[in-house]
Amino acid sequence: MRSSTDPSAQYLGELLPTAKISALGAYVPPQVLTNEDLSRMVETNDRWIVDRTGIKERHIAEPSMATSDMAFEAARCALLQRGINPAEISAIILCTVTPDMMFPSTACLVQDRLGATGAWGFDLIAACSGFLYGLTVAAHLVAAGTHKYVLVIGADTMSRIIDYTDRATCILFGDGAGAFLVEASEDPQLGFVGYLNEIDGAGAPFLCMPAGGSRLPASAETVKNRQHYVKQEGQQVFKFAVRKMAELCEGVLSKYNISKDEVKLLIPHQANRRIIAATAERLGLSEENVIVNLDRFGNTTAATIPLATCDAMSQGRLKKGDLVLFAAVGAGYTAGANLWRWAY
């Protein structure tokens, strides 16, 4: 296998490396917002939230904490776990819909704080599919042989764009961050297998934050009309998510000629327990083959998949050689599925 830093490895026909996930990191802020707390803020109750979503509590960042702060903590954990110097990172992909500010990118802020002096990077906006897309990009950067270590971070401070007077959305989201380090695998049998990602912009109106961009810049009116908050048509998104998640999971398996029985673990985006259950049922997976942790964190948007993977790891549910299926659906619409053979 060629050295992953050898620029000539990018030419087709060369023996290119397979990318593997080599370290994980996670961070959630300490403050917890329970269903009970929410029932004192809006007309809702624990029973409704648990029955309809599976969520019991979520973590909320204190006012002084922004997305780059959580991203930095998660990234630092991953780098410590791998034991590499931040200066060795080739690229940082920061997946978020709640950057510290519109520009500079949050990737720049994290790069500076980490001391990742050899990295380039960018923010990737794909809502709940963001981390999955970041992972797909990282796999290709490493497999091209042009990048040694790619840091993929999913971080969102959803509490900053949630309307805590809207009971249909405020019960769903929480804050958090997670990070994966991606690098070349010495064993071509372990690491990235493949992906099936897609976007469908016809779904844009059903889940969005209407104001604050070039279409509807911030004004006294947009603030008065509460247009700087997440707006969602829940049922539309729910129906799409149930159909798409299962379709793409089956699709990625058939694209690579892999049978459903080979999937050891489904690590899905954590939006609603009913969406996850429907996907698992379609794949014929039982509870022990599916990671669900939204009861503790709610929907942390780009952070759900790395947070769930960290949980899987700490619970001893991920072993070297296991076939892992990551899947997500989110605003856009964005959707995708990635297959990885766990490498450590």
- Which 162-191 residues touch ligand UT7, going by CB under 6 A? 167-168, 171
Contact residues for 164 (Cβ-Cβ < 8 A; gap 6+): 41, 42, 170
Among 93, 128, 139, 294, binds ligand UT7 (CB under 6 A): 128
Nearest residue to ligand UT7 by CB is 234
140 assigned to active site: no
Q: How far is the CB of 58 from ligand UT7 (least distance, A)?
A: 13
Among 52, 82, 113, 243, binds ligand UT7 (CB under 6 A): 52
299 assigned to active site: yes
Helical axes 304-314 vs 130-143, angle rounded to 10°: 80
320: exposed, middle or buried (Cβ count in 10 Å: 0-12, 13-18, 19+): exposed
107: exposed, middle or buried (Cβ count in 10 Å: 0-12, 13-18, 19+): buried
The single-letter DSSP state of residue 299 is: B
- Which 199-238 residues touch ligand UT7, going by CB under 6 A? 207, 234-235, 237-238
Q: How far is the CB of 56 from ligand UT7 (least distance, A)?
A: 13
Is the CB of 68 or the CB of 299 nearer to ligand UT7?
299
Contact pattern from residue 294 through residue 323 relative to ligand UT7, giving x for each residue in contact according to CB under 6 A and a dash for the rest: -----x------------------------
CB 124 within 8 A of CB 134: yes
Q: How far is the CB of 306 from ligand UT7 (least distance, A)?
A: 15
Is the CB of 66 or the CB of 271 nearer to ligand UT7?
271
Give yes or no for residue 330 binding ligand UT7 (CB under 6 A): yes
Among 34, 44, 222, 289, binds ligand UT7 (CB under 6 A): 44
Catalytic residue among 197, 293, 299, 338: 299
Three-state SS across 172-226? CECEEEEEEEEEEECCCCCEEEEEEEEECHHHHHHEECCCCCCCCCCCHHHHHCC
Catalytic residue among 59, 269, 272, 338: 269
Enumerate the β-bridge partners of residue 207. Answer: 232
CA distance 326 to 137: 14
Is the CB of 49 or the CB of 280 nearer to ligand UT7?
49
What SS3 state is found at 146? coil
Q: How far is the CB of 239 from ligand UT7 (least distance, A)?
A: 9
Beta strands, E only, the chain? 18-27, 32-34, 57-59, 91-95, 120-124, 149-157, 175-185, 191-199, 207-208, 231-232, 263-268, 323-330, 334-341
What SS3 state is found at 150? strand
Among 53, 227, 279, 338, binds ligand UT7 (CB under 6 A): 53
272 assigned to active site: no
CA distance 286 to 310: 20
Among 271, 283, 310, 318, binds ligand UT7 (CB under 6 A): 271
Give yes or no for residue 48 binding ligand UT7 (CB under 6 A): yes
Amino acid at 138: A
Catalytic residue among 128, 170, 249, 310: 128
Q: How far is the CB of 249 from ligand UT7 (least distance, A)?
A: 15
CB 332 within 8 A of CB 128: no
Tell me which residues are annotated as active site. Answer: 128, 269, 299
Binding site for ligand UT7 (CB under 6 A): 44, 48-49, 52-53, 128, 167-168, 171, 207, 234-235, 237-238, 241, 271-272, 275, 299, 330
